[in-house]
Structure 1
Amino acid sequence: MTDTALPPSLVSHPDNPVPEGARVGRFAAEDGVALRYAYWLRSDGPHRGTICLLHGRTEFIEKYFETIADFRKRGFAVATFDWRGQGGSQRLARNPLLGYVDRFEDYWVDLKSFHRSVLLPDTPPPYYAVGHSMGGLVALHAAVRDRMMFDRLFLSAPMLGLDRQRLSLRGTARLADALCFFGAGQLPVGRRSERPPSERAFANNPLTSDFRRYMRSVKVLEAEPGLAIGRPAVRWVAAAMHAMDQAGTDSFPVAVKIPTLMLAAARDSVVSTVTTERLGLRMRTGRHVLVPAARHELFMEADAIRAQVLAAFDAFITTQSR
């Protein structure tokens, strides 16, 4: 484990200013990993509780400033943090650009440590989880482990499956486990030709159709390259595949007892929209909505698509809050 976490501050850019009132710091997870966090109390409207914002793989707090402002205008406080191994939190691999985690359960350690150390003492109840991609998968597993942690889950393109896989999730997990056994856990997975976000890469990007929001993240990484991570490690693949496979078992949907709304992106090429739809049909306390024309990063999409996402949030969270 390498302590390469950035100082506990937020990167401000003219195109992406830090929302006023930020409280920023670092806290130690139960196993000692240093994680960067930030929270904002509500800015307008009636008191509605706190949104716990859970990012996807490779993401960082700064990417969600616009969305944080949207939640605060609705009367919510917002609390968020960078997962271990990415953003401004402690990196875990010899190569700090490698996406790495020992076990997917370590993200649960991050979340419950954040809940105990920051969310409960510093922000008002009730608590609602908003999770994107990998953060959505963590939120679902958290709901199975502790049904009292959040009142509701609102998930954006949750990472429940992958399309165009040669092997099943379980088969890929076993292959990755075997590679880890032989010492290859920190080898990167994916093509060397995969390019990091840049203006040139926008045309073929799978994340968003909105150039301005895409470039906002690019400019943050240009200002602070230390926030970036690249390809995932074999060990991360093993951990993620096992977690997605578990979410696909017959017992998982009925074990989620928290009201849940999952948004699936119709043009998602990062995670499997079909898998999200299948889980939504099998959950007793949850459902799914397909967002037309949307790519993977629903909160970073064009205004018309993003308006649908926020309308779904309002119907499911805002109107149900205090």
Structure 2
Amino acid sequence: MDARPMDLQPAPFFADIAKGPAGGQAHWVTTSDGLRIRVGHWQAETATKGTVLLFPGRTEYIEKYGPAAADLAARGYATVTVDWRGQGLADRMLPERQLGHIDHFPNFQKDVAATLDLADRLALPKPYFLIGHSMGGAIGLRALIKGLPVNACIFTGPMWGIHISPVMRPIGKLMGKIGPAIGLGGKLVPTMGLQNYVLANPFEGNTLTNDPETYQFMHDQMTAQPDLVLGGPTISWLGEGLKDCTELAAMASPALPCITFLGALEQIVDCPAVHDRMARWPGGELVLLDDVQHEVMMETPDVRKAVFDQMCSLFDQYR
């Protein structure tokens, strides 16, 4: 169906904290199961080569990817990204806003469908490409397997497994299975905090980035707009996340050009799961980054430049 301006529902967009290309906007969209999520996009005048569907990680929100959108725009690409259900300004899943919760991980695919529909209605430039970060890497992989219409894909620190000790893994799976059955699915994972990681921890010793400026950038964004903030996951989120990773591991890799970036200092996702997936991705490439942590796109300037150059070089090949 052709888009008309009256079909679009503007949503709050905090351009002052996003630091993205000029003209960024956000819209409300409704998913097939009736939830309201927020989708944002940037299309600079020079961004005509195609559009990147940028799938964020857990706790994240549209404005965090303003700098990434600027890097992509400088290389000719528009960006569309999303507040997944339960985070950012999208409908939260529980009365306690700080709890990261999901009842069924594949429900995120309904958010993907709503995001893609809006990109089409906005007539953003094609072809489409995918960048999936962390939890967005799990959502993105399932979407690709289901036929997401992109020409090539990139992953950064993808959540194809969750970094958890071998001793705690069966306990986590058990909690995730039994917790919801006895009414505890909405409770915080006992080892996690209700506060957001960046707001609760100083830069020194953090497990996300080596770049103090980007760490402060995230801190300042959430301080300026507290409604964007999300804390630790629930027992149901952990159980569903572990289950989703297990299901994805049993699926074949899609026949798409792919590069996955993984920091040598990664402590958030399960590195062996990433190595396993890329070892069986025909034509896929795993790029290991020395002295880099989880937030590959928010690392030091030299790392970011090299990563975005390589990302867009791949996209350029498959336009």
Q: Is TM more than 0.5 here? A: yes
Is 1:140 matched up with 2:138?
no
Contact 2:13 2:25 survives alignment (8 Å): no
SS state at 1:77 partner:
strand
1:1-322 matches, within 5 Å, as 8-13=11-16, 16-44=18-46, 47-116=48-117, 118-122=118-122, 123-146=124-147, 148-167=148-167, 172-189=172-189, 190-192=191-193, 196-198=197-199, 201-249=202-250, 252-254=251-253, 256-321=254-319
User: What are the ranges of 5 or more consecutive residues in structure 1 without an aligned counterpart?
Assistant: 1-6
- Greater mean alpha carbon deviation, residues 196-205 or residues 221-230: 196-205
Q: Distance in 1 between matches of 2:54 and 2:83?
A: 10
Deviations 1:235-269 (A, max 9, x none): 111111111111222xx134x22222111111001
CA distance in 2, matches of 1:102, 1:41: 34
C-alpha deviation, 1:204, in angstroms: 1.6
What amino acid maps onto 1:216 in structure 2?
F
1:95 partner SS: coil
Give CA-to-partner distance per residue, 1:7-39, whole Å, 9 cap, x none: 92122446x535311222101011111011111
- Contact map agreement 1:53 1:130 (CA 8 A) in 2: yes
Letter in 1 for 2:102: V
CA contact (8 A) 1:10 1:18 kept: no
Q: Is the 8 A contact 2:20 2:69 kept in 1?
A: no
Between 185-194 and 136-145, the greater mean CA deviation after superposition: 185-194
Q: Which letter maps to 1:312? A: Q
Match of 1:4 in 2: none
Distance 1:206 1:194, change over 3 A: farther
Check the 8 A contact 1:44/1:75 in 2, yes or no.
Answer: yes
CA contact (8 A) 1:176 1:234 kept: yes
Equivalent residue letter for 1:81 = V
Task: Look up the SS of the partner of 1:222 in the other structure.
Answer: helix
RMSD, aligned CA: 2.1
| TM score, norm. by length of structure 2 | 0.90
- How far apart, CA to CA, are the structure 1 residues paired with 2:172 and 2:283? 30
**Alpha-carbon separation, structure 2, partners of 1:199 and 1:100:** 20
Contact kept, 8 Å, 1:195 with 1:201, in 2: the verdict is no
With over 3 angstroms needed to count, the CA separation of the structure-2 counterparts of 1:169 and 1:43, relative to structure 1, is farther
Determine helix, strand or coil for the equivalent of 2:132.
Answer: strand
Cα pair distance change 1:73/1:60, threshold 3 Å: same
Change (3 A) 1:129 1:192: closer
Which amino acid in 2 is paired with 1:149?
P
Alpha-carbon distance, 1:214 to partner: 0.6
| Count of residue pairs brought into register by the alignment | 308
After superposition, the Cα gap between the structure-2 partners of 1:309 and 1:157, relative to the gap in structure 1 and judged at 3 Å, is same
- Identity of aligned pairs, percent? 25
Q: Tell me which amino acid in the other structure corresponds to 1:32.
A: G
Paired residue type of 2:298:
M
For residues 300 and 132 of structure 1, do their structure 2 counterparts lie closer, same or farther at Cα, with a shift above 3 Å needed?
A: same
Q: Distance in 2 between matches of 1:183 and 1:199?
A: 28
How much does 1:165 deviate?
Answer: 2.1
Q: Does structure 2 retain, via aligned residues, the 8 Å contact 1:42–1:78?
A: no
For 2:224 and 2:153, locate their aligned partners in 1 and report how far apart those are by CA, in whole Å.
33
1:49 and 1:192 map into 2 onto residues whose CA distance is 40
Distance 1:192 1:37 in 2: 28
Cα displacement string for residues 146-199 of structure 1 (whole angstroms, at most 9, x for unaligned residues): 1x5211111111011133423586763343111110110100013349763249
> Which amino acid is the alignment partner of residue 175 of structure 2?
L
Change in 2 beyond 3 A, CA 1:91/1:193 = closer
TM (norm. structure 1) is 0.89
